[in-house]
A and B are shown apart, each in its own frame.
Chain A
Amino acid sequence: MSLVSAKGVSLKYGGTLVLRSVDLSIEAGEIVTVIGPNGSGKSTLLRALLGAKEVAEGQITRKDGLRIGYVPQRLAVEANMPLMVGRFLSLPVRHDKVEVRAMLKRVGMAGFEARQLTELSGGQFQRVLLARALLGEPDILMLDEPTQGLDQSGVAGFYQLLEEVRQEMGCAVLLVSHDLHVVMSASDRVICLNGHICCEGTPTVVSAAPEYRALFGAGTLGTMALYQHTHDHSHEEHGHD
């Protein structure tokens, strides 16, 4: 059985339909990357798969007792909430101190237990979020643009760490991203999203697909072309739906 699957799912954000008729499923141990321009509905899809967002249509099924490790895009910690890293890792489930220490070391944050969350830099925070997600021994890690706001070396370092811990733990990974050049090679499957699933397949298949090229431009792997993305679905008119 798939870890999580969506069948004919449509999602609304506010009153607007942002995603329609999405079918997808994620198997144990798989690495799936969802890419798409801003506003393409990728974060909304992730939240729906997580169970934090109601579907407007269709159905989402999660395996019974599925353990999800979620790493949000960014966590705005209320400045009035004093919370140390060690305690945060034990919310809501308490973890052994030794376990917490080892996990912090694993993500390169050794000795940060007593640091306040509000004192962490962006990169440190993402590593702490990853540590918290991993402590729950997840069947699947769900990451929502986990490297947004990090500099280039920070991004590379984070993905390297992600790749290492995934190999150690063998969990599935569902990654929402637009850092195409970094993530695509490691993925089993890439899903290209823009209001619906434009195309999907192995990284090579997707990067060669006309729908993908229409979205991100030909030969733009590794460039910043998608930030200027204004394409409005011309491929739809070729009977894509």
Chain B
Amino acid sequence: MTNLWMPVLAAIGLALATGPLGAFVIWRRMAYFGDATAHASILGVALAVAGILPLYLAVFLVALIMALIVSALHGRGHTMDATLGVMAYAGLSLGMVAVSFTAQPEVELHDFLFGDIMRVTSTDLWVIWGGVLVVLAGLVWRWAPLLTSTLNEDLAVASGLKPRREQLVLTLALAVVVAVAIKVVGALLIGAMLIIPAAAARGVSRTPEGMVIVAVLIGAVASVCGLMASVQWSTPAGPSIVVAASLAFGLSAMFAKRR
């Protein structure tokens, strides 16, 4: 059996960050925000393949720029839905076209779309866990202000908070998560890792903190199960993890309904 501990560590690291961040994505109804940012990161892959920037830095920068644009648009109200959708797919397609221009035949675009978790190196692990810890530290630091401005921005302002600053914290966190997830689940499935564990946790939680912890657990368990299944049946690893998380969502939905 393939040595699984490096992929498992990578996936669990990612789940630690996508749990809390995914909860905010759901609470703030920013699903498209995550997708647009993640899809555009393929453009960062193009920069890396062309040898202009190292992979993680390139993906982070592109994700950050996209996240800032999307975040600014999001602030303009709910009519931005269509624009966000356009940006998500424009970013993805532009990235793929750009990669094709770099004319590196050995580049497997597939690996960046769905991740290449079985081949993460110890360097990848350092980057992933470093990024994850930064995201966690930021979210813990701003926890109460983030919750308050997620509930209601005016209420947050009245309490002396600056909702825009909190939004920026989330934007930065999202860019970091997209960057570290590119090798784990790839650009197409980052959104799934944000939304599915958090959505699965919703039905069984009574507090925001509880929802985050359950989301992290579901993400971690789904990672391990998905990876094992992937080895067992030679299925693609990233999608297998997402399938496992989706099963958890199904179970949680049934449990919540029965209560």
Q: How far is the CB of A112 from chain B (nearest CB, A)?
A: 14
Given A69-B158, A70-B155, A78-B27 contact (CB < 8 Å)? yes
Q: A-facing mask of B120-163, CB < 8 A → 1, else 0?
A: 00000000000000000000000011011011111111110100
CA distance A94 to B208 in the complex (A): 15
Is A166 on the interface with B (CB-CB < 8 A)?
no
A binding-site residues for B, Cβ under 8 Å: 47, 50-52, 68-70, 72, 75, 77-78, 80-84, 87-88, 91-94, 116, 136, 142
Q: Is the CB of A82 within 8 A of B158?
A: no
Q: How far is the CB of A43 from chain B (nearest CB, A)?
A: 10
Q: Which residue of B lies closest to A138 (CB)?
A: B158
Q: Is the CB of A80 within 8 A of B27?
A: yes
Q: Is the CB of B152 within 8 A of A116?
A: no
Is B202 on the interface with A (CB-CB < 8 A)?
yes
Is B180 on the interface with A (CB-CB < 8 A)?
no
B binding-site residues for A, Cβ under 8 Å: 26-29, 144-145, 147-148, 150-159, 161, 199, 202, 205-208, 210-211
Residues of B within 8 A of A52 (CB): 153-154, 157-158
Chain A residues touching B, majority SS: loop
Given A81-B150, A82-B208, A83-B151, A92-B161 contact (CB < 8 Å)? yes
Q: Which residue of A lies closest to B204 (CB)?
A: A82
Q: Is the CB of A50 within 8 A of B147?
A: no
Residues of B within 8 A of A116 (CB): 206
Q: How far is the CB of B210 from chain A (nearest CB, A)?
A: 7
CA distance A88 to B159 in the complex (A): 13
Residues of A within 8 A of B211 (CB): 82
Residues of A within 8 A of B144 (CB): 91-94
In the complex, besides A78-B150, A84-B206, 13 extra interface pairs with C-beta distance below 8 angstroms are A52-B157, A72-B152, A75-B151, A75-B152, A77-B151, A78-B26, A78-B27, A78-B29, A81-B208, A82-B207, A91-B151, A92-B145, A92-B147
Q: How far is the CB of B142 from chain A (nearest CB, A)?
A: 10
Q: How far is the CB of B68 from chain A (nearest CB, A)?
A: 20
Cβ-closest 3 pairs across A and B: A70-B158, A92-B144, A52-B157
Given A92-B144, A92-B156, A82-B151 contact (CB < 8 Å)? no
Q: Which residue of A lies closest to B26 (CB)?
A: A80
Most buried by A among B144, B152, B158, B206: B158
